[in-house]
């Protein structure tokens, strides 16, 4: 088998194995939580008959290992069972929430990725200048702050003082795209500010490292303009590290959205996860955690595969 398909197949196998391990960790971590779910949901006054009927309805009478394999088999087919708190299929419960989370992550990514790459190119083009120091220091300052702090600062400025945007991102399924973009702007901007620094600094570092190579110096000695040297000669060879860090930050946009959704009361999967933990709705918690884990692993696999394909030593082996 050629080297690239072999490496891709190996990465995919590792990803599947990792997801299986993570699913086991998620299930058994919930199982090890103290207390009885039936008693927590029904209250201390519940009779033994009521508790037994509750456990039988949600399959809690089976041994944990049997329940794990039933849960895993259902997850592979998209069936996560019933929500304990809402008494409805979990697939229906998380469908709209998952779409909202993916929409918010895509909204933030469409802003963050081009802006971060552009700022990285500008910082590399004017390396050591005042503009480079301003861009690097400002992004480093933002990345040093926690998400909820950045979110509250944005609410204070744009919602409380300027009154440009609402402080609560209350989106509905029938909301028009323009209204959804407007309502979701502050949570999206919070995520943009958090992840943009990683991508900008990686772009700058990759371009700066390439500018010291002999073929770049030769192009500059021939009189090629510096912006053309970076855009035509340096940037294509920096694709692999830039794409890798972009994919990792896209994974963070989806997985790390929980705090942002809670601050803005955004009806996404992260908000549902927090609400389900407070209600002790463990089937929903397990399903949400598995979706987050699968998304993160999938995007990491995409970053690895793109890095492999972009490697000239693998594309043109001697």
Query: Within a 10 A sphere around the Cβ of 146, how many other Cβ atoms?
Result: 10
In a domain, 252, yes or no: yes
In a domain, 285, yes or no: no
The DSSP-derived string for 212-232 is TSHHHHHHHHTT--HHHIIII
What pLDDT does 250 receive? 80
What string of pLDDT tens digits covers the 318 residues of the chain? 666 777 778 888 888 898 889 888 888 887 777 666 666 666 666 677 777 776 676 666 777 788 888 888 888 887 777 787 777 888 888 888 888 888 888 888 888 888 888 888 888 877 778 887 888 888 778 777 787 888 888 899 888 888 888 888 888 888 888 888 898 899 989 888 888 887 888 888 877 777 777 777 777 777 777 777 777 767 777 777 777 777 778 877 777 778 888 888 888 888 888 888 877 778 888 888 888 888 888 888 887 777 777 665 655 555
Structural domain that includes position 199:
100-269
Total domains present in the chain: 1
Task: Give the global pTM.
Answer: 0.80
Q: How far apart are CA 73 and CA 256, in angstroms?
A: 27
What pLDDT does 317 receive? 54
CATH of the domain at 116: 1.10.3720.10
Three-state SS at 89? strand
Q: How far apart are CA 307 and CA 59, in angstroms?
A: 44
- Beta-ladder partners of 181: none
What residues contact residue 186 under an 8 Å CB cut-off, 6+ apart?
A: 151, 154, 155, 158, 159, 165, 166, 167, 169, 264
Distance of alpha carbon 30 from its chain centroid, rounded? Answer: 22
In a domain, 237, yes or no: yes
- Which CA distances in Å does 147 have to 31, 107, 192? 30, 17, 10
Query: Within a 10 A sphere around the Cβ of 21, how many other Cβ atoms?
Result: 11
What pLDDT does 294 receive? 87
What pLDDT does 315 receive? 57
What residues contact residue 11 under an 8 Å CB cut-off, 6+ apart?
A: 301, 304, 305, 308
In a domain, 258, yes or no: yes
In a domain, 298, yes or no: no
Q: How far apart are CA 312 and CA 316, in angstroms?
A: 6
In a domain, 70, yes or no: no
In a domain, 308, yes or no: no
């Amino acid at each position: 088998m050629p080297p690239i398909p072999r490496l891709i197949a190996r990465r995919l196998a590792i990803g599947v194995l990792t997801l299986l391990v993570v699913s086991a960790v998620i299930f058994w971590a919930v199982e090890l939580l103290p207390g009885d779910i039936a008693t927590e949901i029904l209250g201390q006054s519940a009779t033994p008959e009521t508790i037994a009927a509750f456990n039988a309805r949600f399959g809690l009478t089976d041994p944990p290992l049997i329940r794990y394999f039933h849960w895993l088999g259902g997850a592979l087919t998209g069936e996560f069972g019933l929500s304990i708190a809402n008494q409805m299929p979990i697939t229906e419960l998380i469908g709209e929430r998952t779409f909202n989370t993916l929409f918010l992550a895509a909204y933030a990514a469409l802003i963050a990725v081009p802006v971060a790459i552009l700022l990285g190119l500008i910082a590399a083009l004017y390396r050591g200048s005042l503009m480079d120091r301003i861009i690097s220091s400002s992004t480093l300052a933002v990345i040093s702050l926690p998400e909820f702090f950045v979110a509250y600062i944005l609410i204070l400025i744009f919602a409380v003082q300027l009154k440009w945007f609402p402080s609560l991102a209350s989106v509905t399924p029938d909301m028009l795209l323009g209204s959804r973009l407007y309502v979701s702007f502050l949570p999206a901007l919070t995520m943009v500010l958090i992840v943009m620094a990683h991508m900008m600094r990686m772009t700058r570092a990759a371009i700066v490292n390439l500018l010291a190579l002999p073929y770049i110096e030769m192009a500059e000695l021939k009189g090629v303009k510096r912006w053309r040297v970076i855009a035509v000669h340096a940037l294509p060879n920096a694709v692999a590290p830039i794409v890798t860090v972009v994919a990792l930050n896209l994974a963070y946009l989806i997985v790390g959205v929980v705090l942002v959704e809670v601050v803005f009361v955004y009806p996404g999967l992260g908000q549902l996860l927090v609400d389900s933990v407070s209600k002790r709705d463990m089937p929903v918690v397990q399903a949400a955690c598995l979706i987050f884990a699968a998304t993160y692993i999938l995007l990491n696999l995409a970053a690895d595969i793109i890095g492999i394909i972009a490697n000239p030593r693998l594309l043109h082996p001697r």
